[in-house]
């Protein structure tokens, strides 16, 4: 029973920390705000976390685990590389929109000020790079498309959605992600591949 209570307290503190980090940023966040927001004492916070850097590292690690799992679960058997990339980008945007811990942890990792070594934006770059390379191997890319330019464009656009989504969640909505892909795909892939790749249609938008 005591162990279950400790687990619940730790989870409440992680959630509270994510909310406060998102609202105030790492530098301006105070441990008293985190404990108060979680409804626990400062002593309870220190039982679980030595200092603010450890709290931030835990939020980052939790976000990383969630986003990696989200990316893995988004890939359906039988999909080609581009379909996997589209599905992954949509799932990641949805997770960032709905999950404050994922959102705050991703943002903290981009600040690169706490020395955790996590680089979630870099991981996303490498994920896109890997799937574009696979798409080229599968002969899905149009003849005049540079793999590196495709990676750079996709990462820049999706990173922009994440940054803008911090203040306006509509930027992370599935409809916006799908519109981006429907705009990009005709110039990215062969005509044959275009017929096999689905950037789901919120058909009302396309009608």
In terms of domains, do 73 and 125 share one?
yes
Q: Quick check: 206 pLDDT over 80?
A: no
CATH code of residue 28 = 1.10.10.60
137-160 tens-digit pLDDT: 999 999 999 999 999 999 999 999
pLDDT grade, residue 131 (50/70/90)?
Answer: very high
Q: What is residue 201's predicted lDDT score, i.e. its pLDDT?
A: 52
| Domain that includes residue 72, residue range | 58-199
The answer to whether residue 76 sits within a structural domain is yes
In terms of domains, do 87 and 163 share one?
yes
The answer to whether residue 205 sits within a structural domain is no
In terms of domains, do 63 and 22 share one?
no
46: Cα separation from own chain's centroid: 29
Q: Are 22 and 107 in contact (CB under 8 A)?
A: yes
Q: Give percent of the chain above pLDDT 70.
A: 93
In terms of domains, do 89 and 163 share one?
yes
Q: Across-strand partners of 191? A: none
65-108 tens-digit pLDDT: 999 999 999 988 889 999 999 999 999 999 999 999 999 999 99
In terms of domains, do 45 and 72 share one?
no
For residue 9, which of 43, 32, 56, 33 has the smallest C-alpha distance?
43
Residue with tokens 């903290």: 108
Query: How many domains does the chain divide into?
Result: 2
Q: What is residue 116's predicted lDDT score, i.e. its pLDDT?
A: 65
């Amino acid at each position: 029973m005591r162990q279950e209570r400790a687990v619940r307290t730790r989870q409440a503190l992680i959630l509270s920390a994510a909310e406060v980090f998102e609202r105030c940023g790492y530098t301006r966040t105070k441990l008293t705000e985190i404990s108060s927001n979680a409804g626990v004492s400062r002593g309870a916070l220190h039982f679980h976390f030595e200092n603010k850097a450890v709290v931030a590292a835990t939020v980052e690690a939790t976000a990383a685990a969630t986003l990696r799992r989200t990316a893995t679960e988004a890939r359906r058997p039988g999909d080609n590389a581009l379909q996997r990339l589209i599905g992954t980008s949509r799932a990641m945007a949805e997770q960032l929109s709905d999950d404050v811990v994922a959102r705050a942890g991703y943002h903290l990792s981009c600040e690169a000020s706490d020395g955790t070594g996590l680089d979630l934006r870099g991981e996303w770059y490498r994920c896109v790079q890997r799937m574009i390379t696979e798409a080229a191997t599968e002969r899905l890319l149009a003849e005049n498309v540079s793999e590196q330019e495709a990676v750079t464009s996709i990462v820049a656009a999706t990173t922009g959605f994440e940054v803008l989504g911090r203040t306006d969640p509509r930027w992370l909505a599935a409809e916006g992600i799908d519109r981006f892909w429907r705009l990009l795909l005709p110039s990215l892939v062969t005509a044959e591949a275009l017929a096999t790749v689905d950037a789901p249609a919120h058909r009302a938008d396309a009608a």
